[in-house]
Amino acid sequence: MSEVRVRFAPSPTGQIHIGNIRTALFNYLFAKKMDGTFILRIEDTDRERSANEFEDVIHQEMNWLGLDWDEGVKVGGDFGPYRQMERLDLYKEYIDKLLEEERAYRCYCTPEELDQMRASQKKAGEAPRYTGKCRNLTDKERIDLEKEGRESVIRFKSPQEEREIVVDDLIRGQVAFSSDVIDDFVIVKSDGIPTYNFAVVIDDHLMEISHVIRGEDHLSNTPKQILVYQGLGWDTPRFAHLSMILGSDKSKLSKRSGEAYVFVSEYRKKGYLPQALLNFLSLLGWSPEGDEEVFSKEEIIEQFSIERVNKSSAVFDVEKLNWMNGLYIRDAQIDTIVQLALPYLKEAGYDLEDEDPKWVELLVDTVRGSLDYIAQIADEVDIFFGEVEYDNKEKVVETFKQKDVDLVLETLKERIEALETLDPAEIKSMLKKTMKDLPVGGRKFYHPTRFALTGKGSGPELYNVIAILGKEESIKRLDKALSLI
């Protein structure tokens, strides 16, 4: 079997889209599974929109998810350079060749003329495609047009007689296109920079890419690229077109399509764990053989295969991501979660760097159970800081005023005072014993106590709450409750 070489080829034109990173992930998984090479190439031929800082964004998000590339920008390799704008002279060789062999030609039509052409075609109910006006220009005509000072683009000559162009797709099977729907497309823009459909072919060939795994939005462009491969006498790589990721309204995932975030950075900033996002994304369009769904990256690589990639598009279900991320938050080492949580807590005004690490650990551990993502921790931790605030003061006071509640709170004060350690286990048994010693049931014991200590009707385990608050603050809060009776 020949060597597997795949590439992820994003444009540095902005934040990296969740659908794009999923493409990167599948390329990565395939490369790792097949012991192949994963390449990162930057397609920066759109000079209007490309910017250097966006390349850094790509690096950052890929690093965050652990999608390390074996070859490409930053790390180098034998097939560089890996930025298209640094490969211009490489393209030139093949452009000249096509021109020489008259497989391509210069076109002097202005954008305005083209617009007009398309408009009238549309009006006549025809498919908007280039008419081939400049296809057979004589040398004289060409010189005249150049004398006019007209700029030119280079167009690829698509076949004149109808024939079938078949994309042999690993996911979709054989997809046939008629050459009739392909016009003489531009391969070099007037500024001399090649277009995507041309540069991608040259690069994939020169970089010896074995499998082109990319989004389905590229499927319709593939016949054009196949024409270029054929024009240059090259074999095509294998193609695999991944279905799209949709928003909850089933339209292409975008800022407007529901509650899901579109950019990887947004998930990172909200405190999603990279392993969780990676695990979730791997299940969007691919499924393992068994019923299990929670996997480490290594396990996914082990099980991955293109054959099990799904053809239909997938809605990005944030609810399920949240569940999975919560699972990872609960299962992770506590110090990992503490380290992740600290910045969010600090931002919310809880600067815990100088606090006892054991205490911080208990704090984070106590609230992690209910988190979907780390950014939520600030709200969860709120009950432990400042004055206790009652959610519904009237109802709380009513609860305090019930018979025997004063006895409960007074007794608790004494027992907390008498605690030898703040070990949650010790507190737990103390609470149990205290309740037994008193003439009240669980509801009358725990409920008012929770109100007194946290101000809320629900929350983390009370023994943890007491351990976190400490003796002094717990008693202070019990006193406050007692004063309201």
Is residue 301 near RNA by the rule CB under 7 A?
Answer: no
Closest CA to 59 of 74, 46, 44: 74
**Complex with RNA: residue 79 or 445, whichever CB lies closer:** 445
The one among 18, 43, 57, 237 contacting RNA by CB under 7 A: 43
Nearest approach in angstroms of CB 353 to RNA is: 27
Is residue 455 near RNA by the rule CB under 7 A?
Answer: no
Question: Going by C-beta distance under 8 Å and a sequence separation of 6 or more, which residues neighbour residue 66?
Answer: 274, 278, 297
- List, in sequence order, every residue forming a beta bridge with 17; answer none if it has no partner: 263
- List, in sequence order, every residue forming a beta bridge with 245; answer none if it has no partner: 314
- Give backbone dihedrals phi and psi of 6, rounded to 5 degrees, phi first: -125, 160
Q: How far is CA 433 from CA 9, 141, 412, 415, 440, in A?
A: 65, 101, 11, 10, 12
Q: How far is 278 from 194, CA to CA, in rounded Å?
A: 34
The one among 90, 99, 175, 332 contacting RNA by CB under 7 A: 175
Nearest approach in angstroms of CB 127 to RNA is: 4
Is residue 415 near RNA by the rule CB under 7 A?
Answer: no
User: What residues numbered 222-241 form the site for RNA, per CB under 7 A?
Assistant: none
Is residue 336 near RNA by the rule CB under 7 A?
Answer: no
Is residue 376 near RNA by the rule CB under 7 A?
Answer: no
Is residue 285 near RNA by the rule CB under 7 A?
Answer: yes
Which value, in Å, is the radius of gyration of the alpha carbons in the chain?
32
The one among 237, 274, 424, 460 contacting RNA by CB under 7 A: 460
Nearest approach in angstroms of CB 83 to RNA is: 11
Handedness of CA 216, 217, 223, 225 (dihedral sign): negative
Q: How far is 484 from 478, CA to CA, in rounded Å?
A: 10
**Complex with RNA: residue 145 or 345, whichever CB lies closer:** 145
The one among 59, 97, 142, 172 contacting RNA by CB under 7 A: 172
Only one of the segments 4-12, 141-149, 261-269, 410-418 lies at the binding site for RNA (rule: CB under 7 A); that segment is 4-12
**Complex with RNA: residue 163 or 330, whichever CB lies closer:** 330
Nearest approach in angstroms of CB 351 to RNA is: 26
Is residue 197 near RNA by the rule CB under 7 A?
Answer: yes
Relative to beta strand 37-40, strand 71-72 is parallel
Edge-to-edge strand list for the sheet holding 153-156: 104-107, 153-156, 186-188
**Complex with RNA: residue 130 or 350, whichever CB lies closer:** 130
Is residue 163 near RNA by the rule CB under 7 A?
Answer: no
Nearest approach in angstroms of CB 240 to RNA is: 12
Nearest approach in angstroms of CB 294 to RNA is: 8
255, 311, 393, 433: which is the annotated catalytic residue? 255
Q: How many CB atoms lie within 10 A of CB 312?
A: 7
Is residue 404 near RNA by the rule CB under 7 A?
Answer: no
- Contact, 271 vs 282, CB < 8 A? no
C-alpha angle 387-393-398 in degrees, rounded to nearest 5: 125
User: What residues numbered 97-156 form the site for RNA, per CB under 7 A?
Assistant: 109-111, 114, 118, 125, 127-130, 151, 153
Is residue 243 near RNA by the rule CB under 7 A?
Answer: yes
Question: Going by C-beta distance under 8 Å and a sequence separation of 6 or more, which residues neighbour residue 144?
Answer: none
The one among 66, 76, 349, 369 contacting RNA by CB under 7 A: 369
User: What residues numbered 48-87 form the site for RNA, per CB under 7 A?
Assistant: 49
Nearest approach in angstroms of CB 26 to RNA is: 12
C-alpha angle 73-195-207 in degrees, rounded to nearest 5: 40
In the chain, the N- to C-terminal Cα span, in Å, equals 81
255 is catalytic: yes
**Complex with RNA: residue 77 or 457, whichever CB lies closer:** 457
- Give backbone dihedrals phi and psi of 5, rounded to 5 degrees, phi first: -130, 120
**Complex with RNA: residue 37 or 366, whichever CB lies closer:** 366
**What is the CB-side half-sphere exposure of residue 407 using CA atoms within 13 A?**
12
The one among 14, 33, 46, 265 contacting RNA by CB under 7 A: 46
Give the 3-state secondary structure of residue 169.
strand
- Contact, 209 vs 39, CB < 8 A? yes
**Complex with RNA: residue 210 or 454, whichever CB lies closer:** 454
Q: How far is 40 from 81, CA to CA, in rounded Å?
A: 11
**Complex with RNA: residue 38 or 108, whichever CB lies closer:** 108
Give the 3-state secondary structure of residue 185.
coil
Closest CA to 211 of 164, 165, 168: 168
Nearest approach in angstroms of CB 153 to RNA is: 5
Is residue 326 near RNA by the rule CB under 7 A?
Answer: yes
**Complex with RNA: residue 296 or 351, whichever CB lies closer:** 296
Active site residues: 255
